């Protein structure tokens, strides 16, 4: 039996079927373009490209994952979401929100609830993108050495 993380089996994920997708390809499939722009800007500012992948994983109970690789970062979604425009945006926004959490790549399991709460609040904002800030400002706030503003 494979290792279990947060209730799903890692061995249940289709790692050998992981396929890289381009951001323009996902936008053509219905991903809101502001999410692709944010991913690309975040990668540029951090010096770690944010790459998109599909991999079968819904059977394991997972719609999306954010993964810090050695030289870049990845957002992985189940391929069935590529044909479900509304769900694709929701999942990618949620995974991008994880990446915007300060020090997300170093977070321990004790930080998961806080990270999930942060992502759950930020994801709808990323989908709506108010006009009073730019993606560069969002990405800079989430850059190493920076953090989200303290709550007042």
Spatial neighbors of 18 by CB under 8 A, at least 6 apart, are 53, 54, 55, 76
Number of CB atoms found within 10 A of residue 11's CB: 11
Give me the residue spans of the domains in the chain.
4-128
Spatial neighbors of 47 by CB under 8 A, at least 6 apart, are none
Give the integer Cα–Cα distance in Å for 114 and 106: 14
Number of CB atoms found within 10 A of residue 147's CB: 12
- The string of pLDDT tens digits covering residues 102-113 is 777 776 667 778
Average pLDDT along the chain:
78
71: pLDDT strictly greater than 70? yes
Structure tokens at 19: 């396929």
Residue 68's pLDDT is 87
- The string of pLDDT tens digits covering residues 40-69 is 988 998 899 999 999 988 877 888 988 888
Q: What is the pTM of this model?
A: 0.75
In the chain, the N- to C-terminal Cα span, in Å, equals 47
């Amino acid at each position: 039996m494979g290792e279990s993380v947060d209730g799903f089996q890692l061995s249940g994920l289709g790692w050998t079927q992981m396929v890289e997708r381009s951001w323009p390809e996902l936008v053509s499939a219905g991903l809101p373009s502001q999410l692709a722009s944010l991913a690309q800007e975040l990668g540029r500012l951090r010096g770690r490209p944010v790459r998109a992948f599909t991999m079968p994983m819904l059977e394991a109970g997972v719609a999306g994952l954010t993964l810090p690789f050695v030289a870049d970062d990845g957002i992985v979604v189940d391929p069935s979401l590529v044909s479900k425009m509304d769900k694709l945006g929701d999942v990618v926004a949620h995974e991008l929100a994880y990446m915007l959490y300060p020090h997300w790549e170093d977070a321990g399991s004790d930080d998961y609830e806080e990270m999930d709460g942060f992502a759950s609040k930020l994801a709808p904002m990323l989908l709506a993108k108010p006009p009073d800030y730019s993606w560069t400002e969002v990405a800079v706030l989430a850059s190493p050495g920076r953090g989200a503003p303290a709550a007042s």
